[in-house]
């Protein structure tokens, strides 16, 4: 790209706590952020025309958007189930399908999605969320295989508990206290740390790494030390 041209990032879910941290770090790295997704009146990710006017070149396409619904599997409604799957998974499908041409126009394109430890270590009463995140990880693998020929790399980040919660999630403080105790570092994940890693990926990282999922939970899910 030209010397004075900034790299272009499109971040879906840019207005949430994590999205804001990602925007800030990428801005500091010299990226231009698509402002359409920073507005209060941003489009519905499921609408047919939501992504009609994407930038002609996209260097980094990031899907952060996500919702949760806490309810037992036998009680959750079909509508609630579909809402979670639609926003968490189908929104990403819609985004990447429409971003494909713009990604091909970049010299070093990257796709990034935010997954969750729920994909492999589900908690009770969160089936739609866990299923949607597991499917996102599969999508990343599929796109790595299909889009590798265009030099597009794909990445999923499997997040543990953030110090800054999702807007749609009300977490019991006792749960977070217990999570800290079981985490080797005794800390929750900061949005700033996630943003730093995403900037690393967005800046090229290693092109031989594609289609994989990075664990970012400070060892919480693998810690089985009983004392």
Question: 41 pLDDT exceeds 70?
Answer: yes
Say if 223 falls within a structural domain.
no
pLDDT, mean of residues 16-24: 95
Domain enclosing residue 88, as ranges: 7-215
Question: 21 pLDDT exceeds 50?
Answer: yes
Q: Is 110 helix (H, G, I), strand (E, B) or coil?
A: strand
Number of structural domains the chain divides into:
1
pLDDT, mean of residues 77-95: 97
| For the chain, percent of residues with pLDDT exceeding 90 | 87
Say if 194 falls within a structural domain.
yes
- Do 115 and 136 contact (CB within 8 A), yes or no? yes
Say if 225 falls within a structural domain.
no
Say if 2 falls within a structural domain.
no
Question: 57 pLDDT exceeds 70?
Answer: yes
Say if 1 falls within a structural domain.
no
Say if 221 falls within a structural domain.
no
pLDDT band at 170 (very low <50, low <70, confident <90, very high): low
Counts of helices then strands in the chain (DSSP H, E): 6, 6
Q: What is the pLDDT, as a whole number, of residue 203? A: 94
Say if 68 falls within a structural domain.
yes
Question: 95 pLDDT exceeds 60?
Answer: yes
pLDDT band at 171 (very low <50, low <70, confident <90, very high): low
pLDDT band at 2 (very low <50, low <70, confident <90, very high): very low
Question: 111 pLDDT exceeds 70?
Answer: yes
Indicate the pTM of the whole model.
0.93
- DSSP secondary structure letters along 13-59: TTTSHHHHHHHHHHHHTTEEE-GGGGSTTPPPTTSTTTTTT--S--S
Say if 224 falls within a structural domain.
no
Q: What is the CATH number of the domain that holds 45?
A: 3.40.50.720
pLDDT band at 165 (very low <50, low <70, confident <90, very high): low
pLDDT, mean of residues 144-164: 95
Q: What is the pLDDT, as a whole number, of residue 187? A: 94
């Amino acid at each position: 790209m030209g010397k004075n041209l900034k790299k272009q990032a499109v971040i879906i879910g840019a207005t949430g706590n994590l999205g804001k941290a990602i925007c800030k770090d990428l801005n500091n790295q010299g990226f231009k952020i698509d402002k359409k997704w920073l507005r209060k009146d941003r489009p519905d990710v499921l609408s047919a025309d939501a992504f009609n006017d994407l930038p002609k070149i996209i260097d980094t396409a990031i899907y952060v958007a996500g919702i949760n619904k806490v309810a037992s599997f036998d009680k959750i409604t079909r509508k609630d189930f579909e809402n979670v799957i639609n926003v968490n998974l189908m929104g990403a499908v819609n985004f990447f399908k429409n971003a494909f041409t713009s990604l091909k126009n970049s010299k070093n394109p990257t796709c990034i999605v935010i997954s969750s430890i729920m994909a492999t270590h589900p908690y009770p009463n969160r089936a739609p969320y866990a299923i949607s995140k597991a499917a996102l990880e599969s999508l990343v693998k599929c796109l790595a295989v299909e889009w590798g020929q265009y030099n597009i790399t794909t990445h999923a980040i499997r997040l543990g508990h953030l110090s800054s919660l999702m807007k749609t999630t009300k977490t019991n403080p006792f749960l977070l206290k217990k999570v800290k105790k079981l985490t080797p570092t005794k800390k929750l994940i900061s949005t700033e740390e996630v943003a730093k890693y995403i900037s690393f990926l967005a800046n090229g990282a290693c092109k031989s790494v594609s289609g994989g999922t990075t664990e970012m939970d400070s060892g919480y899910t693998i810690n089985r030390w009983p004392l």
